Structure formats: structure tokens, C-alpha cells
């Protein structure tokens, strides 16, 4: 039987999920190209039989070379945690723009984009969301994933590159805490979901929740899974007794869907000013500086 793809590219191949996905992706193509930053790629045990091509996603020229001859991309590469804007701007925002521009020029047919639940992380946990609910990113990282979903939409409407954006929850061997009873995506279900997203016919630009069939889910599938042919086999509930007592500290991180990411940032505030020293005895007074008068709005 013919394989679905000639050349498939996996970015972020040396990362946690890349190492899970590389072996099954080998079975879907004649050539699998694995990419990551040079250091991680060189030091990670990856399946023999796949090509390796190191590339910093922020390097426009290198990304164009990386996409040469590629039919489809599973895009996992980039910063995978909340943090300051500068590095996320480079790896996730510029990196994604480079990827889609190179995909357009190289005639790539489909991208499976690892988006994230942090696109909607500011929704309260009491809400069960469907895809009509507006994005409410919970930080720089979630914002970069929302940018990716926007790029996917643009490159489908203008250039007919298909994308499935997977809003992945918590993809781990077992759920790590009580929140993950809602967000968990088992690793076998991750493989099922990515395979379905790659091979389903006519996906256009689709967004799908990336979770197992969790009884306590924060999100409701609206039929997208069936269209993709994804049938989750796992349910975090089987791990409930082990983790339901593991709660995040009281505060937004416990109330909102994004969890611990809500406890991070802002990052760029100047350090608090040191208290001013008392004026020297007998010297010129050096009290606090006069406030700068504010101009009324509308004046130059």
C-alpha cells in the first residue's frame, strides 16, 4: 500500500513529545526528517532510518532549507512553557512565520501544529468550552500559540496550505495532578490524534482539542474528532485516586484553566526603587523630585 507521504518533517524532534512521535511517524512516509536545535538534536537518541537536520526556527534561511522537498510537517518545535516575551518572539512567533513562509514556497500540503490549551487558559475551570468560545490566552506562550492559529487560518485562506491546530492539554505518561484529570492527553492518544490530523482528508484549517476522553474535561469536542477520525481510548479518570488531592496553591492558578502558568509574569517591570537617603545635615535639601506635570490629553 502506498505511504501517505513521501517526505515528512518533524520539528522539535528531540523534545518530550518529539521522541514519542518520531517512531510512529516513520511508518507514514518514505523519508522522515527530524529537526531541532543543534545541541538537542546531536544528543538525543532518535530512530535510525530518519534524516536529521539541525535548524534554529528563528533562522529564516535555515528554515527555508529545512522545508525543501517536504510534503507535510508535524510542528512541535519552539518554547513549550510560559516565560519572557523575547525568546518566545524568536522561537515561536518568528519561527512559525518562517515555517509557513517556507511551506508556501516549497509547496507543503499540510501542517499539524502543536497549539496549546494555554490559548484559552484564562477561562475559569467551571466553564466547559467549545471551539466557538473566544481565545483567552494566559501569557506570552499562549499568545504565541494564538498567533500560530492565526497564521494557519491565513495560509489556508490565501495559499491553501492545510493545518490542523491541536490545542494540546497535558501530554504525559500519566496525569501529574488534579488539573490534569481535565486536561490529560495520554501518549497513545497523542499518537492517534497526530496520525489522524496528518492523514484525514480535506481538513482545511481545523482546530481540535488535544485530550483523551476525560470525564472531567474543560473542553467539549463538537464533532471535530470524528471528522479527523480520532477516537481517544484513554480517560484520566482511571488515575483520579492517585492525583485528585494534588492541587495548585490557592489563587488564579487554581481557579483558571491554565493552571500554574497563571502564576508567572509579568517579567519586565523595573526593580522597585531604593528608598531615598535622608538629606545631609546642614547641606542643601534634597527632597523627593517634583512630579513631572502631565499634559492634558490631546495636547502635543
Q: Which residues are catalytic?
A: 141
| C-beta of 30 vs 61, nearer to ligand NAI | 61
Dihedral sign computed on CA atoms, order 1, 10, 64, 147? positive
- Please answer whether residues 194 and 166 qualify as being in contact, where contact means their C-beta atoms are separated by less than 8 angstroms: yes
With binding defined as CB under 6 A, does residue 90 bind ligand 15L?
no
137 contact choice in ligand NAI, ligand 15L, none (CB below 5 to 8 Å, kind-dependent) = none
- Position among 23, 31, 37, 127 found at the interface with ligand NAI (CB under 6 A): 37
8 contact choice in ligand NAI, ligand 15L, none (CB below 5 to 8 Å, kind-dependent) = none
Question: Which of these ranges, 116-124, 231-239, 243-251, 283-291, lies near ligand 15L under the rule CB under 6 A?
Answer: 116-124
- Number of residues forming the site for ligand NAI (CB under 6 A): 24
The beta-carbon contacts of 248-251 under 8 Å, at least 24 apart in sequence, are: 248/177, 248/179
- Please answer whether residues 102 and 63 qualify as being in contact, where contact means their C-beta atoms are separated by less than 8 angstroms: yes
- Position among 67, 74, 91, 243 found at the interface with ligand NAI (CB under 6 A): 91
- Position among 35, 92, 170, 235 found at the interface with ligand 15L (CB under 6 A): 170
Kindly write down the DSSP assignment for every residue of 203-241, as one continuous string. --EEEEEE----TT-SB---SHHHHHT------GGGGHH
- CB 95, min distance to ligand NAI, A: 5
DSSP state of 296: P
Query: What are the cell numbers at 185?
Result: 492527553
243 contact choice in ligand 15L, ligand NAI, none (CB below 5 to 8 Å, kind-dependent) = none
| C-beta of 102 vs 236, nearer to ligand 15L | 236
- CB 197, min distance to ligand 15L, A: 17
Spatial distance between the Cα atoms of 277 and 273, rounded to a whole number of angstroms? 12
DSSP state of 90: I
With binding defined as CB under 6 A, does residue 196 bind ligand NAI?
no
Spatial distance between the Cα atoms of 235 and 52, rounded to a whole number of angstroms? 35
Binders of ligand 15L among 210-269, rule CB under 6 A?
A: 259
- CB 171, min distance to ligand NAI, A: 4
Binders of ligand 15L among 258-297, rule CB under 6 A?
A: 259
| C-beta of 14 vs 228, nearer to ligand NAI | 14
With binding defined as CB under 6 A, does residue 14 bind ligand NAI?
yes
User: Could you tell me which of 220, 168, 213 has the C-alpha nearest to residue 194?
Assistant: 168
β-strands 170-171, 162-168 pairing: unpaired
**10 SS3 class:** strand
Binders of ligand NAI among 54-73, rule CB under 6 A?
A: 56-58
Spatial distance between the Cα atoms of 291 and 280, rounded to a whole number of angstroms? 22
Sheet strands side by side (includes 205-210): 51-52, 29-35, 5-11, 72-75, 110-116, 162-168, 205-210
The contact set with ligand NAI (CB under 6 A) reads: 12, 14-18, 36-37, 40, 56-58, 76-80, 91, 95, 114, 116, 168, 170-171
Q: Which residues bind ligand 15L (CB under 6 A)?
A: 80-81, 116-118, 170, 183, 259
Amino acid at each position: 500500500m502506498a505511504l501517505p507521504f513521501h517526505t515528512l518533517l518533524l520539528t522539535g524532534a528531540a523534545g518530550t513529545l518529539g521522541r514519542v512521535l518520531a517512531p510512529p511517524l516513520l511508518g507514514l512516509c518514505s523519508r522522515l526528517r527530524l529537526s531541532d536545535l543543534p545541541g538537542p538534536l546531536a544528543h538525543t537518541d532518535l530512530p535510525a532510518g530518519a534524516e536529521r537536520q539541525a535548524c534554529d526556527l528563528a533562522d529564516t534561511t535555515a528554515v527555508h532549507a529545512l522545508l525543501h522537498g517536504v510534503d507535510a510537517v508535524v510542528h512541535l518545535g519552539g518554547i513549550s512553557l510560559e516565560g519572557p516575551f523575547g525568546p518566545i518572539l524568536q522561537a515561536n512567533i518568528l519561527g512559525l512565520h518562517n515555517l509557513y513562509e517556507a511551506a508556501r514556497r516549497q509547496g507543503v500540503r499540510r501542517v499539524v501544529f502543536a497549539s496549546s490549551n494555554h490559548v484559552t487558559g484564562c477561562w475559569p475551570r467551571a466553564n466547559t468550552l467549545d471551539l466557538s468560545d473566544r481565545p483567552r490566552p494566559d501569557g506570552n506562550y499562549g499568545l504565541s500559540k494564538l498567533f500560530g492559529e492565526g497564521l494557519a487560518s491565513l495560509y489556508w485562506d490565501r495559499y491553501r496550505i492545510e493545518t490542523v491546530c491541536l490545542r494540546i492539554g497535558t501530554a504525559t505518561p500519566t496525569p501529574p495532578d488534579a488539573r490534569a484529570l481535565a486536561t490529560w492527553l495520554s501518549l497513545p492518544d497523542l499518537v492517534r490524534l497526530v496520525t489522524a490530523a496528518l492523514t484525514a482528508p480535506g481538513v482545511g484549517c481545523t482546530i481540535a482539542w488535544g485530550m483523551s476522553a476525560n470525564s472531567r474535561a474543560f473542553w467539549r469536542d463538537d464533532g471535530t474528532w470524528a471528522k479527523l477520525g480520532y477516537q481517544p481510548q484513554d480517560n484520566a479518570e482511571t488515575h483520579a485516586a492517585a492525583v485528585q488531592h494534588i492541587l495548585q496553591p490557592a489563587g488564579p492558578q487554581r481557579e483558571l484553566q491554565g493552571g500554574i502558568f497563571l502564576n508567572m509574569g509579568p517579567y519586565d517591570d523595573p526593580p522597585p526603587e531604593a528608598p531615598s537617603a535622608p538629606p545631609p545635615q546642614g547641606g542643601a535639601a534634597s527632597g523627593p523630585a517634583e512630579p513631572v506635570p502631565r499634559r492634558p490629553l490631546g495636547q502635543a
